[in-house]
Amino acid sequence: MKKIGIYGGTFDPIHHAHLILAREARERLGLVEVIFVLAALSPDKIEQECASAEARWEMLSAAIEGEAGFTASRLELDRPSPSYTIDTVEALRAGNPDAELFFLLGEDNLPGLPRWRRFADLGQLVQFVVLDRTGAAPESPYITIRRWIDISSTAIRNRVARGESIRYLVPEAVEEIIRRRNLYQGTKRSNPKS
């Protein structure tokens, strides 16, 4: 049975920590593919200045181009709002009926996970995998991949707004898109993680 990882997020912007942990999950779990599912804007991020869905899609596509076993999906962007993880997983399950699905999520999502729409159904369709890049993930019953990587989308947006370098934090192609599109110029936040 083939194993597929589903990695959802706003990826605003996608950065090396996302990619490193996705690669680590792929290798450790024997996943044939990690599908990056670009989310529509999360309600808890409404007050942030975010890149458009198309800019985020362009960055995600550029970041994974040529990476074996990494693909991207617009399922959540192209579906009418609101878009829920359970809907995405059911759609991916329909396209891969014989696959074992693993849902990759950042440790910051762990406390709210039981409140996700149709959580019990979701738990029957996927195995949850916690990607812990801060060392902050509490013990959980889920597979956890820990790797300390001090990179966050928030810090990247703030660095861009201050005119500081983001080299080595994001793939070169993503940095080029941020510069060309003049993204994150008005960002003024200090949220530590995303």
- Contacts of residue 136, Cβ cutoff 8 Å, sequence gap at least 6: 107, 108
CA atoms within 13 Å, Cβ hemisphere of 175: 13
Write the CB contacts of 105 (distance below 8 Å, at least 6 apart in sequence): 8, 113, 128, 129, 130, 131
Predicted TM-score (pTM) of the model is: 0.91
Q: Which domains does the chain have, with CATH numbers?
A: 3-149 (3.40.50.620)
Residue 18, H or E segment: helix 16-29
pLDDT (tens, 9 = 90+) of the chain, 194 residues, equals 999 999 999 999 999 999 999 999 999 999 999 999 999 865 555 555 689 999 999 999 999 999 999 999 999 999 988 889 999 999 999 999 999 999 999 999 999 999 999 999 999 999 999 999 988 878 899 999 999 999 999 999 999 999 999 999 999 999 999 999 999 997 554 444 44
